[in-house]
Amino acid sequence: MKNVNNPTIKKLLEKYKEISLLGKVNALLGWDLNVNLPRQASAFRSEQSAYIAEVITDKWLDSKFRSLLEKANSEKDLTLEEKAIVRNLNFTAKIYYKVPKELIIENEKVTSGAFIDWRTAKEENNFKKFQPHLTKIVEIDKQIAEHLGYKSNPYDALLDLYEPELTAAECTRLFNGIKKELVPFIKKITKSKDYTDQIKFINGLTHYPKADQEKILNYTVEKMGFDFSRGRVDISAHPFTTTLGPHDIRTTTFYSETDFRESFTSSVHETGHALYELGINSDFASTPLEGGVSLGVHEGMSRFWENMVGKNPNFLRFVTPIFKSFYDKQLAGVDEAELIKAFDLVKPSLIRIHADEVTYSLHIVLRFEMENEIINGKIAVKDAPEAWREKSKKLLGVEPKTDSEGVLQDVHWAYGNLGYFPAYAMGNLYGAQVLSVMQKKVNVDKELLRGNLLPVKNWLDENLHQYGSLYFPSELIKKVTGKPLDYTYFTEYIIKKYSEIYGIATK
């Protein structure tokens, strides 16, 4: 690899390559599980995957690897790449080196039991069934935080597991800005003159054949610059993207024959993840600089494509005739403004995964506040359902009638992943800040109106994708945009776009 000359780092790279290769083998097993697996094969598959995960853990815990990393930590005069390699290895290794193995095993036991009872609790709308599990999970997460270490807030240690260096104080600063701007703006939208949450051509009855959706999707994905000789698109119940190698990125989509928006937006989203991975400097393959740098930046790229490109009114103007050529009967009499409102419908709702671009971040703010207060003992687990209802009312203006559509709706807590959610909202902020800079070089609206997506992809390749995990998110955003992360790019973008769509005066 270029710019790596230090002998200790070179040895570390050799050892890391084994970890990386095994990780890709496990990713292939996971892809196959989600796309192809016969029903009766799941037990054996999980045995295979668990075995590979164990071998990977052993490689991290290997005493030679550990002492090499310790040595690397005291090396002087390292290059940018060498420093990033050491930093990334320390980042991933901390869970193996700082948290006792017994606690990790206990965590696995607790969460696998929790998952089963969470599912029934959600089906039966019975929080009490999940409550003892959540109490244990919070206890274990607090212990994990103590082992990992933090300055003043234990929740910081959990946030940092998913988004490097993110803190609760930073989330509070950014999320308060989002709240201040978007809570009143959403009210303006729903009270605007022609507001309706009904779409006459998506009504549960009108039929949009899968074969047509597939053609539109392949056309769009190709226009985005996805290289089918370096990846595949398949079908799975929950769309996802996985990296099996530097020239093998797999995405999946899901077809709903009563709502053609679903496969379109999910494909554009997943292709955004794929383009990030495909655009990374190939010199970084099988090294600690491989892959997108964080969950938040990855979501930043996928949401950028989904919302800022795919649901950009100008791009929707470009695709309207395409949709209409396939669905001439279903969309008879539908004009482009109606199609734009169908894709960019703003509707405060209870369920995060169905949320639109404007309300989505507020669903995350709610989860961030809940987690931060639970970890710091300000909300008791038994009071979580009530706290959720209050926050939902304040932030979204809607109050869940059942816990199934409130505190029990997401699987993340059952998996023990407290600290994971904020990365989703960070993604929106990264995307908007990147767009603000891109617009100085690329006339995004004009290109999208003509269906030209390559200038956008090429800009991202050159200015962001190529860096892979060379820079941590806060450095990367400064490198790409010249400024530290702020919420104003996102709120200004939202207010401008949706004021136009809903005819709201901005002054």
- Which residues does the annotation mark as catalytic? 270
- Which of the ranges 71-79, 199-207, 254-262, 296-304 carries the binding residues for Zn ion, by CB under 5 A? 296-304
Give the strands of the sheet with 241-245, arranged side by side.
231-235, 248-253, 241-245
Q: Kindly give the pairing relationship between strand 241-245 and strand 248-253.
A: antiparallel
Which secondary structure element, helix H or strand E, spans residue 2, and what is its range?
none
Closer residue to Zn ion in complex, CB, 294/302: 302
Closer residue to Zn ion in complex, CB, 406/419: 419
Closer residue to Zn ion in complex, CB, 273/391: 273
The secondary structure of residue 77, as a DSSP letter, is: S
Integer Cα distance of 82 and 492 in angstroms:
38
CB contact at 8 A, 361 and 171: no
Closer residue to Zn ion in complex, CB, 271/302: 302
Integer Cα distance of 188 and 31 in angstroms:
43
Q: Is position 167 an interface residue for Zn ion (rule: CB under 5 A)?
A: no
- Which of the ranges 139-147, 211-219, 298-306, 365-373 carries the binding residues for Zn ion, by CB under 5 A? 298-306
Span between the terminal Cα atoms of the chain, in Å: 54
- Which of the ranges 16-24, 161-169, 243-251, 297-305 carries the binding residues for Zn ion, by CB under 5 A? 297-305
Look at the block and give the residue holding tokens 């985005």.
Answer: 224
Number of residues near Zn ion (by CB under 5 A): 1
Closer residue to Zn ion in complex, CB, 157/293: 293
Closer residue to Zn ion in complex, CB, 156/163: 163
Per-residue interface string for the shown chain with Zn ion, residues 383-412, x marking contact by CB under 5 A: ------------------------------
CB contact at 8 A, 170 and 451: no
Q: Is position 312 an interface residue for Zn ion (rule: CB under 5 A)?
A: no
Integer Cα distance of 175 and 30 in angstroms:
34
Q: Look at the chain and count its residues.
A: 507
The secondary structure of residue 78, as a DSSP letter, is: -
Integer Cα distance of 462 and 198 in angstroms:
41
What per-residue string of b and e applies to 114-135 under the rule 16 or more CB within 10 Å gives b? beebbeebbeeebbebbbebbe
What residue is closest to Zn ion based on CB?
302
Q: Please give the structure tokens belonging to residue 334.
A: 């539908």
Find the shortest distance in angstroms from Cβ 272 to Zn ion: 8
Q: Is position 302 an interface residue for Zn ion (rule: CB under 5 A)?
A: yes
CB contact at 8 A, 366 and 349: no
Look up residue 251 and give its amino acid.
T
Integer Cα distance of 223 and 507 in angstroms:
37
Q: Is position 242 an interface residue for Zn ion (rule: CB under 5 A)?
A: no
- Which of the ranges 121-129, 175-183, 294-302, 340-348 carries the binding residues for Zn ion, by CB under 5 A? 294-302
Site for Zn ion in 428-447 (CB under 5 A): none
- Which of the ranges 152-160, 217-225, 301-309, 485-493 carries the binding residues for Zn ion, by CB under 5 A? 301-309
Judged by DSSP in three states, 391 sits in: helix
Closer residue to Zn ion in complex, CB, 98/354: 354
Look up residue 343 and give its amino acid.
F
Q: Which residues bind Zn ion (CB under 5 A)?
A: 302
